[in-house]
Amino acid sequence: MDVVKYLEEKSAIVEGKIREIVPKDSRPQEVYGPIWDLFGRGGKRLRPAMCLLASEAVGGDEKKALVAAAAIEMFHNFTLIHDDIEDASLMRRGKPCLHIEYGMPLALNAGDGLFMMVWKAALQAGEAPEENLATQKMLLGAFTKVLEGQAVELGWHRSGKWDVTKEEYLGMAGGKTGALIEASCRAGAFLGGGAQEEIDALAKFGMGVGIVFQIQDDVLNIIGDEKKYRKEIGGDIVEGKRTLIVIGALEALETSKRKRLLKLLKNEKKTKEDVEKVIALLKESGAVQKAQEYAIKQVDKAKEKLDVVKNTHAKKMLWDIADYLVVREV
């Protein structure tokens, strides 16, 4: 089955569960209206799909992982609301971010409300009390890593740190993006009744492809098609993101061009022309291509973790999803 079609099918299942947890007609509208505006814009639903697939991979019924999958997707969307505020982003899924559409106070409040709904879902995960507690601990651990990864990135911006190393970037991405995909696979495999070896292997696969997902997102923000990407091209540059591409360019460019790039990056009020100049320098440095090549290598390493997966259908879908992440345009 085509990866996009598979994700669409699982998206419908997960959204149905989310509607049970947070009915569309919930009141007050000032809380739930913005939440369902965001959900209604679509999204890949990658994380919950991988949670369900991990359950299937160990021979379990995906229905057992459905509540956890919904909780993970709700948490992800909560982070998007607050991250867009923290980054002063303009577009999310092809429309103005919630803080622009509804104003900062209502957007913050909607994010807070969605986070509470996450735990409403998490309290229902698992069939036995001990299973529920273990799942909640997994989710809490992942949510904490996401928070910490975001804090590290925000800290770089606040302190004006540009000498970020590749290792520092990978650590940040592993928290901000990798941890939630890792938890999706871990929770799914656990709730599916997998052996510890299977759970650990699928979690490592999730972390690997999670970091690749972030790298590809960085790439698309530079060379993507804005209509497909549904976020502003060059937005990471405006926001001052320290990406693997920026790190590579600062290392590869000769001194005068490196100084020019750094000066442009440090400018807090970048014009459209400034952004275009940065993109040109990033492309010239070869850092975009190197980031893509690195992502492909990491996908291959992540796929090696799937050797323990016995379910051939689930293994193929996980394999195909990993490959999709490095060629996706959205």
**Is 192 a member of any domain?**
yes
| CB distance 72 to 33 below 8 Å | no
pLDDT at 216 over 90: yes
Average pLDDT of the residues in 65-76: 97
Average pLDDT of the residues in 19-36: 95
**Could you give the number of structural domains in the chain?**
1
Average pLDDT of the residues in 1-19: 92
Residue 101, amino acid: E
pLDDT digit string (tens) for 112-136?
999 999 999 999 999 899 999 999 9
**Is 167 a member of any domain?**
yes
Percent of the chain at pLDDT above 90?
Answer: 92
Compute CA distances 312 → 5, 307, 323, whole Å: 18, 11, 16
Strand partners, 91: 96
| CB distance 270 to 241 below 8 Å | no
**Is 14 a member of any domain?**
yes
Can you tell me whether residue 85 is helix, strand or coil? helix
Can you tell me whether residue 234 is helix, strand or coil? coil
**Is 140 a member of any domain?**
yes
CA 112/CA 98 separation, integer angstroms: 13
| CB distance 187 to 51 below 8 Å | yes
Q: What angle do CA 164, 168, 172 make, to 5 degrees?
A: 115
State the pLDDT at residue 1.
65
| 224-227 contact pairs (CB < 8 A, 24+) | 224/329, 225/329
Task: Report CA torsion sign: 47, 53, 58, 61.
Answer: positive
Task: Report CA torsion sign: 287, 148, 69, 135.
Answer: positive
Return the CATH number at 47.
Answer: 1.10.600.10
State the pLDDT at residue 104.
97
Write the DSSP symbol of residue 308: G
**Is 330 a member of any domain?**
no
Residue 76, amino acid: H
pLDDT at 137 over 90: yes
Segment (H or E) for 91: strand 91-92
Among 38-47, 95-104, 193-202, 223-232, the least confident range: 223-232
State the pLDDT at residue 231.
78
Q: Which domain holds residue 181?
A: 3-325
Burial of 307 (0-12, 13-18, 19+ CB in 10 A): exposed
**Is 138 a member of any domain?**
yes
pLDDT digit string (tens) for 28-42?
999 999 999 999 999
Mean pLDDT of all residues in the chain? 95
**Is 180 a member of any domain?**
yes
